[in-house]
Amino acid sequence: MISIQTVAQERPNIVVFLVDDMGWQDTSVPFWKDTTVLNKQFRTPNMLRLASEGMKFTNAYATPVCTPSRVSLITGMNAAHHHVTNWTSPEKNKNTDAADDLFNPADWNINGLSPVKNIPSTVYATVLPQLLKDAGYFTIHAGKAHWAPAGTPGANPVNMGFIVNIAGHSAGHPQSYLGTENYGNLPGKASAQAVPDLEEFWGTETFLTEALTRASLKALDQPILQHQPFYLYLAHYAVHLPIMTDNRFIQKYIDAGLSPVEANYASMIEGMDKSLGDLMQYLKEKKADKNTIIIFMSDNGGLSLAPPRGGEPHTQNLPLKAGKGSVYEGGIREPMIVKWPGVVKPGSSTSQYVMIEDFFPSILELARIKDSKTIQETDGKSFIPILKNPAYLDTNRVLVWHMPNKWTGKDGPGINYFSAVRQGNWKMVYNMRTGKKELYNLHTDIGENNDLASFFPEKVKSLSAILSEKLRAWNSPMPKYKNTGKSVPLPDGE
Amino acid sequence: MISIQTVAQERPNIVVFLVDDMGWQDTSVPFWKDTTVLNKQFRTPNMLRLASEGMKFTNAYATPVCTPSRVSLITGMNAAHHHVTNWTSPEKNKNTDAADDLFNPADWNINGLSPVKNIPSTVYATVLPQLLKDAGYFTIHAGKAHWAPAGTPGANPVNMGFIVNIAGHSAGHPQSYLGTENYGNLPGKASAQAVPDLEEFWGTETFLTEALTRASLKALDQPILQHQPFYLYLAHYAVHLPIMTDNRFIQKYIDAGLSPVEANYASMIEGMDKSLGDLMQYLKEKKADKNTIIIFMSDNGGLSLAPPRGGEPHTQNLPLKAGKGSVYEGGIREPMIVKWPGVVKPGSSTSQYVMIEDFFPSILELARIKDSKTIQETDGKSFIPILKNPAYLDTNRVLVWHMPNKWTGKDGPGINYFSAVRQGNWKMVYNMRTGKKELYNLHTDIGENNDLASFFPEKVKSLSAILSEKLRAWNSPMPKYKNTGKSVPLPDGE
């Protein structure tokens, strides 16, 4: 009898290399028209190499914070649709929204994603790795999971269809990146963020990024030995807080005059880049590079709260405005690169806008899995046509961001209670607190500095209608006024 | 191309169901000639079923404590040979021997087992799951690992060749069996014994034994779907300390008048037995039962220190003498059952003595893996001939126990600084502290109550020579006198 693997063997291997909280400019790779000061500040030679071998997406988007993006990726749903609009606590039934004077919290899915029915306050959905596993893929999770709180099925990546789970659980960041601190697992001091597994590296100088990489490559030995196609979801904890020193790379950034915190941040970026390089090197050695697709992505914009970041607040993603938590470009535009040997033209680039939920149908298509039955209606659109044709252009597509949440105690630009919509080069931002609508032309104003709302009222009206229609169709959660108990109106006023 | 799996598919699946600290009599299955009071006290219907479908080994042995047995199983080496003669600390370079007035510690391998070269104070060896994995088996570890401390490769079962690791790490017992206590993972309260993984069960009523079972069966889905032979090493944390209440089973033991601690212990035994039943049921549902070999075993005798056990000290394994930590039968004789559909005669029994290191060659033979290259010379002997022939008898074989360690602060019967040897029905016990040698005939005196040394001096001499020869050949560690710095002499006086 021919086993499933024998048939599946011809399918490509797929790697999603997901970085946490990495900004659009936190790389040597120029994702804008010009090479920026930030591009020169960071050192990511392996990303440069990946870009030279693949396609750069200059208009790739995620949601403003982590869990919504991760749920979108694994379900194919927009965050306004899956209702996991904020990050989930490691603790069950705990709303992470900050307290607010004006609003009571929206009714979002505070328990995240569940692959099992009837778990309260979750979105119940068919998940990508399960479909891949069912189709014969060897599925590996490494790093940050953060789909759901402890005490729910979604807490454990194994319940999402991952055969192997390395260090993924309910927490959204590591307690420590240091092997010398056991990644947080110090008796009596471990928090909910203590990183599970990787015990062989405890007490050593191994930075978490390196430990995850080594463990991932070790896990890849099995499908490679078995000639089974694999799906590796290498979701680094880096470069999320706590910003710590990766000793292997720090000195050059200190020498370059960066502040201590920004030097640390840059060392974490370079450690992440080394992981990418080690992965590519490993695939080459195993002669698996030609049949492996690598998708590089971040889950939201770079953190622009300062402190904990250095510099002036909300300048860390320039030329983009603001950062993590914001619906402005700094919070949502991501460094995305796809290498697909033999198909994607090396060194190519696309400005077609894509979104994190597009990963779901795209990866299924790459794995040649057709007609999957999913519990949920998916919203993502495959980016395979773009990969096959850099000139592909669709300016009619509508992208939606929706964060009816108070992510952080103090409002910032585009941060706390915002929605946004993009169609073509037009982007409208809706402030739920004030009702104000802003309109930007991203082609001429990537920094969203010139609000054109008063000049193009018809455009504002049509984008309001489009956004409202989506939110209405998805029954998207909205914050409620404390004084009336009523929901905040949609952008079209209803 | 035909994949490795296609070839391997005809090979049997193998389950090692290893219980921790379970005594020879902690079961409804009568392993002695008579049904004992203890057999009536415990309730293990699924073990009864397994015995009725397989072969009962009434003279199966392990070492007096856990790590040595686990290292022997996975390397095929006797503990006197691999030198991991005591349990290993979760902390690297830490000698777990208690302080003693007479002796300095023996030079044993305090860092346990390493699958990687040049790790100080370890035995470097080729390990069973790695050989199985290399031969195409899907290898799953669930439960207690305890081969080596954190900060060494052996801490992580993945480094031993397990593809999937569920909850195994450097610790030898769980901080808590209770889901409501997150198995120990409470922020600020977690010790080195907090159980990793299984986060989906945190905050629920799921007893650890049940959580491990469910996770194990979930992991089995993959090789069954892929028609890949599997090796499941389900090494329960139960019934090691801390003795806690398994609420599902406790009431009947309280009603039967057991003390609270012994009722808890019995509830943990029954919870373990349910796990065995669930596993058998699962295999049947998946139509994998006919091609799956199940080997039931414990790693050392039942704990007989009281407290923490109830009753009089060292009576918990009657008719056997003493318990865990002892070279008397109570510390080393184990409840072993092997089910091998189509080969082993249902309901059969053997009194041939076998030893934990025999698992290594036996499992390789069951998996039809021949001529494996191993770094170490192995000592185990395959028990396949016994499985195929219940009348098999070899009374010349020599078994050795060697514990040159101070396991617990207070000496007990056969506990702290003892060696022993068995050949046929003769057993000699060597007390390193006093130099005294005892001789027992296990056929007539299973309780080791009648020391026959003075009646059979030639037998004592010959067994001393046999034991000494082994210890000399293996360069076995011996304690050293504090006053002279010299090693304790071998039983033959040299």
Q: What is the per-residue pLDDT across B12-46, written as a single tens digit (0 to 9) for each?
A: 999 999 999 999 999 999 999 989 999 999 999 99
Shortest CA gap B2–chain A (Å): 6
Q: Which residues 214-243 in chain A show a CB within 8 A of chain B? A: 215, 218-219, 222, 225-228
- Give the integer Cα–Cα distance in Å for B170 and B156: 7
> Is the pLDDT reported for residue B355 higher than 60?
yes
> Is the pLDDT reported for residue A86 higher than 50?
yes
Nearest CA in chain A to B8: A3
Q: What is the per-residue pLDDT across B279-312, written as a single tens digit (0 to 9) for each?
A: 999 999 999 999 999 999 999 999 999 999 999 9
Q: What is the per-residue pLDDT across A419-465, written as a single tens digit (0 to 9) for each?
A: 999 999 999 999 999 999 999 999 999 999 999 999 999 999 999 99
| CA angle centred on B347, ends B334 and B249, rounded to 5° | 60
Per-residue model confidence (pLDDT) at position B4: 45
The average confidence (pLDDT) of chain A is 96
State the pLDDT confidence band at A494, using cuts at 50, 70 and 90.
confident
- Please, what's the b/e burial string for A234-255 (b: 16 or more CB within 10 A of its CB; e: otherwise)? bbbbbbbbebbbbeebbeebbe
Shortest CA gap B281–chain A (Å): 21
> Is the pLDDT reported for residue A9 higher than 70?
no
Average pLDDT of the residues in B153-163: 98
- Give the integer Cα–Cα distance in Å for B97 and B85: 10
Distances (CA, A) of A49 to A41, A471, B11: 17, 40, 45
The average confidence (pLDDT) of chain B is 96
> Is the pLDDT reported for residue B6 higher than 60?
no
Within an 8 Å CB–CB cutoff, is residue A51 touching chain B?
A: no
Average pLDDT of the residues in A177-186: 97
Shortest CA gap B91–chain A (Å): 9
Q: What is the per-residue pLDDT across A368-397, written as a single tens digit (0 to 9) for each?
A: 999 999 999 999 999 999 999 999 999 999
Q: What is the per-residue pLDDT across A205-236, written as a single tens digit (0 to 9) for each?
A: 999 999 999 999 999 999 998 899 999 999 99
Average pLDDT of the residues in B100-114: 98
Within an 8 Å CB–CB cutoff, is residue B169 touching chain A?
A: yes
Percentage of chain B lying above the pLDDT 70 cut:
98
Per-residue model confidence (pLDDT) at position B493: 87
Within an 8 Å CB–CB cutoff, is residue A114 touching chain B?
A: no
Element housing B16 (H / E): strand B13-19
Q: What is the per-residue pLDDT across B216-232, written as a single tens digit (0 to 9) for each?
A: 999 999 999 889 999 99
Of B6, B203, B215, the CB nearest to A92: B203
> Is the pLDDT reported for residue A2 higher than 80?
no
For residue B452, give the nearest of B429, B472, B484 by alpha carbon: B429
Residue B222 corresponds to which tokens in the numbers above?
């993959």
Contacts of A156 in chain B (CB under 8 A): 197-200
Of A169, A189, A200, the CB nearest to B155: A200
Residue A35 corresponds to which tokens in the numbers above?
């090479």
Q: What is the per-residue pLDDT across A32-70, written as a single tens digit (0 to 9) for each?
A: 998 999 999 999 999 999 999 999 999 999 999 999 999
Of A2, A92, A199, the CB nearest to B150: A199
| CA angle centred on B83, ends B82 and B88, rounded to 5° | 110
CB A276 within 8 A of CB A59: no
> Is the pLDDT reported for residue A104 higher than 70?
yes
Q: If you write DSSP's letter for every residue of B262-310 in order, what string do you get?
A: HHHHHHHHHHHHHHHHHHHHHHHHTT-GGGEEEEEEESSPPP--TTTSS
Shortest CA gap A196–chain B (Å): 6
> Is the pLDDT reported for residue A145 higher than 70?
yes
- Give the integer Cα–Cα distance in Å for B234 and B276: 10
Contact A151 B201 (CB under 8 A): yes
Per-residue model confidence (pLDDT) at position B2: 38
Per-residue model confidence (pLDDT) at position B3: 44
- Please, what's the b/e burial string for A336-351 (b: 16 or more CB within 10 A of its CB; e: otherwise)? bbbbbeeebeeebebe
Shortest CA gap A231–chain B (Å): 14
Residue B478 corresponds to which tokens in the numbers above?
């011996």
Q: What is the per-residue pLDDT across B391-422, written as a single tens digit (0 to 9) for each?
A: 999 999 999 999 999 999 999 999 999 999 99
CB B436 within 8 A of CB B460: no
Contact B200 A152 (CB under 8 A): yes
Contacts of A158 in chain B (CB under 8 A): 215, 218-219
Q: What is the phi/psi pair of residue B41, to 5°?
A: -75, -35
Residue A112 corresponds to which tokens in the numbers above?
């995240």
State the pLDDT confidence band at A1, using cuts at 50, 70 and 90.
very low
Q: Which residues 422-461 in chain A show a CB within 8 A of chain B? A: none
DSSP-derived 3-state class of residue B339: strand
> Is the pLDDT reported for residue A4 higher than 50?
no
CB B293 within 8 A of CB B14: yes
Per-residue model confidence (pLDDT) at position B1: 35
Quickly count helices (H) and strands (E) in chain B.
13, 17
Per-residue model confidence (pLDDT) at position A3: 43
Q: Any idea what DSSP says for residue A461?
A: H
Distances (CA, A) of A485 to A8, A47, A102, A482, B292: 54, 49, 11, 5, 61
Q: What is the per-residue pLDDT across B117-140, written as a single tens digit (0 to 9) for each?
A: 999 999 999 999 999 999 999 999
Per-residue model confidence (pLDDT) at position A10: 80
Task: Mark out the alpha helices in B32-94 (DSSP H runs).
Answer: 37-41, 45-53, 66-75, 79-82
Q: What is the per-residue pLDDT across A292-347, written as a single tens digit (0 to 9) for each?
A: 999 999 999 999 999 999 999 999 999 999 999 999 999 999 999 999 999 999 99
- Give the integer Cα–Cα distance in Å for A198 and A184: 12
> Is the pLDDT reported for residue B478 higher than 80?
yes
Contact A204 B228 (CB under 8 A): no
Mutation for testing the B interface, residue in A169, A200, A205, A218 having most B CBs under 10 Å = A200
> Is the pLDDT reported for residue A88 higher than 90?
yes
Q: What is the phi/psi pair of residue A216, to 5°?
A: -65, -45
Average pLDDT of the residues in B131-159: 97
Nearest CA in chain B to A149: B200
Per-residue model confidence (pLDDT) at position B494: 76
> Is the pLDDT reported for residue A7 higher than 90?
no
